[in-house]
Amino acid sequence: MIFIQTLLAFVLALSVLIVIHELGHYWMARLCNVKVLRFSLGMGKILYSRRFGPDQTEWAISLLPLGGYVKLLDARADDLDAVSPEDRKREFTSQSVWRRMAIIAAGPLANFVLAVFVLTGLYIYGMPEPVARLREVPENTVAYQAGLRGGETIIAIDGVPIHNWQEVRWKLTEVLMEERPAVSLTYRLPGDAGDDAAGSSTSTAIIPTHHVSIDDVDKDFIGKLGLSVERPPAVIGPVSKQGVAQKAGLQTGDRVLAVNGKPILDSLALVNCIRSSPGQTLALEVLRDGKPYEITLIPQARPEKDNLVGKIDAGISVMPEMTVLRYSIPVAFLEGAYKTWETSVITVKMIGKMITGDVSLKNITGPIAIADYAGQTARAGLIRYLHFIVFISISIGVMNLLPIPVLDGGLLLYYAVEIVSGGSIPEKVADIGYKIGIGILGILLLVAVFNDVVRLFF
């Protein structure tokens, strides 16, 4: 069932993004009065098609779902002898270089526009995110050395206001990408109700970042600094009938204070303890209605991704306290545009650092990992899924603008050369570039799939 959900979420997201991208090319071609012969969702053999519209454009669904294209009237591929004189004027290569560039650039631009408008809608509706409050800070970390202990609420990073934990992660990612030697965290002390509360005070911690690298971006680099989001207390939730927890005597609402004599920090610590103890005896110190109890249980060993983990058949919520970020329509649009720009810039920087070797190619993700994340976000709810679509749409826009032949960016590069030189790229040079581009994309796909397999199955 999970596999089917993942597959459907992936195909739906990819189909929407491909259609939007190709519609960008289509709409701009129509605006520039270039004849569109076919609009295809998918590649390869056409499974279904229908012609309609002023130009009787063929709208098709093709065999391979990973892709799509818009076919324009083009002298390089079509016989113009059978074309009317009026339509010959609408042939693609006969258009000015500026019109050709506009048609090619409209695809990636459509992906960016989609991201802006989806983010605008999300900001208007309100996006629930974890409160930027810190979990207990481990003593052997730079965050602890900077004076943080846990319970502090981060309100700014390097002077930029912070509203939730997602923004903390994002800003710290920027710091890492820009290789800043340190980051400044402004925070409210535990117990302060807010900026306007009477007696509310703020402090600043300077945290060095020299021991984390850009290669840590896809790992828990924030945890490496000693920072993590606060979790709720270790309280037992719904208990399954005849399960391990019920048989041992645990009840809904019990708060676990310690396991085998070791204090339990919060719900996440309890979950990790149980999962890492399959088949082992655990002595729980429990607080129930203000009275202490001792309960002994043995987590049942169950397989999970080729490993055995402990389960006690009881719900334990690890969800942090949430806050809702909501803006008026104008502010939401500006925030959506800024976030799209910011994400695009970071994506470009990451690609640049991969090219220079500063970032490992292990950070490249492919269709398997993207599909897995699509399934996870779809199961987490519509807002998370839409946020996933935004990120992938921006990534598609950026990737298509890379100056690699076969991609939109490669064609834009050819046209830029044409503007500078006053003449088009020789056909032989274009063919060589096309083959090189196919080779580059093929290698990147192989690396991405290899990374996906290693990341998900090993």
Q: Which residues pair with 39 in a beta bridge?
A: 59, 70
Cα 134 to Cα 409: distance, rounded to the nearest angstrom: 43
Find all residues with CB under 8 Å of 223, minimum gap 6, and list them: none
Cα 332 to Cα 338: distance, rounded to the nearest angstrom: 10
From the list 22, 167, 230, 335, the catalytic residue is: 22
Cα 203 to Cα 233: distance, rounded to the nearest angstrom: 26
Cα 350 to Cα 356: distance, rounded to the nearest angstrom: 10
Q: Which residues pair with 157 in a beta bridge?
A: 160, 185
Q: What is the token pair recorded at 54?
A: 């002023």
Q: What is the token pair recorded at 334?
A: 């500006």
Q: Contact at 8 Å (CB) between 259 and 283?
A: yes
Is residue 22 among the annotated active site residues?
A: yes
Inter-helix orientation angle 97-125/329-356, to 10°: 120
What number of residues does the chain have?
458
Residue 265 backbone phi and psi in degrees, to 5: -65, -50
Residue 217 backbone phi and psi in degrees, to 5: -55, -40
Burial of 46 (0-12, 13-18, 19+ CB in 10 A): middle
Residues labelled catalytic: 22
